[in-house]
């Protein structure tokens, strides 16, 4: 028996990177996994690969920045499975630029996906969990949401905002049987950090007590822990998974 046997889990941004790794981990723990992603091609490939491994996984093309798209996906999933136990708000994008160079479009795109998407998905899923009197929402923040980062006004604003929403929702939804937590990853070896110059990566690793970049599995394991009964009395917290990084 896995830690999440027959639990219905949504992973947004689940077609690649940390999201895909998380979908694999949840499936390995016995969960029924819904991969939500805007990229239909990568989503279909992820679904096929995990099904070939014997997992109960389905891909739904969802634009988390669009509430209608999110609500439609929730309706389909509930019709198919009857419930939603875990929502992992993992989807996120970057559009980096300094304050003096950032465009309105760069600002708004990141706000719409990273902040609006978390709001849309949580607001659409929460009523299902309230009716069940149980559920778990996990929001993905970032180490930069805690400490800031050069050239990421938009991204940092969203990741700090996610922490605030996590604490509000933990207060609002706790008595309804719903736990809400956030994970704040450090610098993780994914496509998102490939744009960071090698010398900067070396500096980051040098300031990390565990002396390495994180792996997607490190974050996926944190998601699984928070979603499981092992964390049944954990709510409103921000779990930093950053190797002890000191900025």
Tell me if 218 is assigned to some domain: yes
Q: Are 153 and 142 in contact (CB under 8 A)?
A: no
Per-residue pLDDT for 136 more than 70?
Answer: yes
pLDDT for the residue 194: 72
- At 247, the pLDDT band (50, 70, 90 cuts) reads low
Mean pLDDT of 80-84: 98
- Lowest mean per-residue pLDDT among 34-48, 89-103, 108-122, 205-219: 205-219
Any idea what the CATH number is for the domain that residue 81 is in?
A: 3.40.50.720
The 10 Å Cβ neighbour count of residue 199 is: 8
| Structural domain span for residue 184 | 8-241
Q: What is the mean pLDDT of residues 61-72?
A: 98
Higher pLDDT, 235 or 205: 235
Q: Tell me what the pLDDT averaged over the chain comes to.
A: 96
**Is 235 inside any structural domain?**
yes
Q: What are phi and psi of 237, to 5 degrees?
A: -105, 160
In a domain, 246, yes or no: no
- DSSP output for 4-71: TTT-EEEEETTTSHHHHHHHHHHHHTT-EEEEEES-HHHHHHHHHHHHHTT--EEEEE--TT-HHHHH
Given a contact cutoff of 8 angstroms between Cβ atoms, the answer to whether 161 and 209 are in contact is no
The whole-number average pLDDT for the span 127-134 is 98
Task: Give the active site residues.
Answer: 155
Query: Closest Cα to residue 180, out of 92, 89, 74?
Result: 89
When mean pLDDT is compared across 28-42, 82-96, 194-208, the lowest value belongs to: 194-208
Is pLDDT at 120 greater than 70 in this prediction? Answer: yes
Residue 3 lies in a domain: no
Which CA distances in Å does 46 have to 16, 36, 40, 154? 8, 11, 10, 29
Q: Decide: 173 and 126 in contact? Cβ < 8 Å.
A: yes
- Model pLDDT, residue 176: 98
Higher pLDDT, 192 or 187: 187
Does residue 2 sit within a domain? no
pLDDT at 26 over 70: yes
Look at residue 197 in the predicted model and tell me its pLDDT. 81
| Structural domain contains residue 227 | yes
Cα–Cα distance between 96 and 99 in angstroms, integer? 9
**Is 43 among the domain residues?**
yes
Indicate whether 247 belongs to any domain.
no
For the entire predicted model, the pTM comes to 0.96
**77 neighbors 69 (Cβ within 8 angstroms):** no
Number of domains in the chain: 1
Nearest partner of 60 among 86, 91, 37, 94, judged by Cα: 37
How far is 171 from 128, CA to CA, in rounded Å? Answer: 18
């Amino acid at each position: 028996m896995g830690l999440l046997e027959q639990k219905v889990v949504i992973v947004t941004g689940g077609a690649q990177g940390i999201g895909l790794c998380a979908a694999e981990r949840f499936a390995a723990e016995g969960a029924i996994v819904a991969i939500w992603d805007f990229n239909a091609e990568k989503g279909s490939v992820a679904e096929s690969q995990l099904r070939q491994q014997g997992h109960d996984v389905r891909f739904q093309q969802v634009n988390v920045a669009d509430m209608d798209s999110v609500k439609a996906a929730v309706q389909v999933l509930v019709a198919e499975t009857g419930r939603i136990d875990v929502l992992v708000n993992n989807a996120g994008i970057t559009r980096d630029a300094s304050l003096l160079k950032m465009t309105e479009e760069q600002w708004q795109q990141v706000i719409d996906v990273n902040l609006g998407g978390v709001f849309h998905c949580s607001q659409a899923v929460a009523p299902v969990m309230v009716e069940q009197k149980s559920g778990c929402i996990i929001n993905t923040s970032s180490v930069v949401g805690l400490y800031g980062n050069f050239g990421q006004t938009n991204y940092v604003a969203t990741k700090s905002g996610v922490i605030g929403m996590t604490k509000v929702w933990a207060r609002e939804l706790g008595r309804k049987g719903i736990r809400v937590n956030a994970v704040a990853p450090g610098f993780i070896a994914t496509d998102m950090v490939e744009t960071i110059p090698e010398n900067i990566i070396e500096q980051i690793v040098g300031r990390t007590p565990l002396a390495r970049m994180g792996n997607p599995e490190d974050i996926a394991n944190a998601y699984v822990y928070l979603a499981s009964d092992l964390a049944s009395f954990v709510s409103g917290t921000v779990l930093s998974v950053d190797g002890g990084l000191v900025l």
